[in-house]
Amino acid sequence: MEGDKRPRFKWPESLWWLVPVMLGAVFEVIFFVPFVTPETMNHHKEIFLLLIPFCVVAPVGGWWAIYQCIRREQHPVKYLAIVIFVPLGFIWYYFERYRLRIAQP
């Protein structure tokens, strides 16, 4: 299809990168905010076992991804939005950007 003149998907000009940001924000608000209250935490201590990995891994991974975005990306703002606003967004950044960048010679 060398003669195909249809417009191609252009990542920097497109707003499709907002989709994972919005999905992450909605997921966090719907599932975590109503259930994690002080009363729930006092009665169900096992919830801490679910929250501890988020509280330890998420900040470290998030700061790593922010550093990588600022240092390596040509347009870091769109990636920073995903890393900052999507819970555990640094995992997405690792698989979609960082790992592919390392694989290139």
pLDDT tens sequence across 13-53: 566 767 777 887 788 778 777 777 778 778 877 877 877 77
Domain residues for the domain of 56 are: 21-103
Is residue 9 one of the residues assigned to a domain?
A: no
pTM over 0.85: no
**Residue-by-residue DSSP string for 51-97:** HHHHHHHHHHHHHHHHHHHHHH-SSHHHHHHHHHHSTTHHHHHIIII
Q: Do the domain assignments include residue 75? A: yes
**Residue 30 is assigned to a structural domain of this protein:** yes
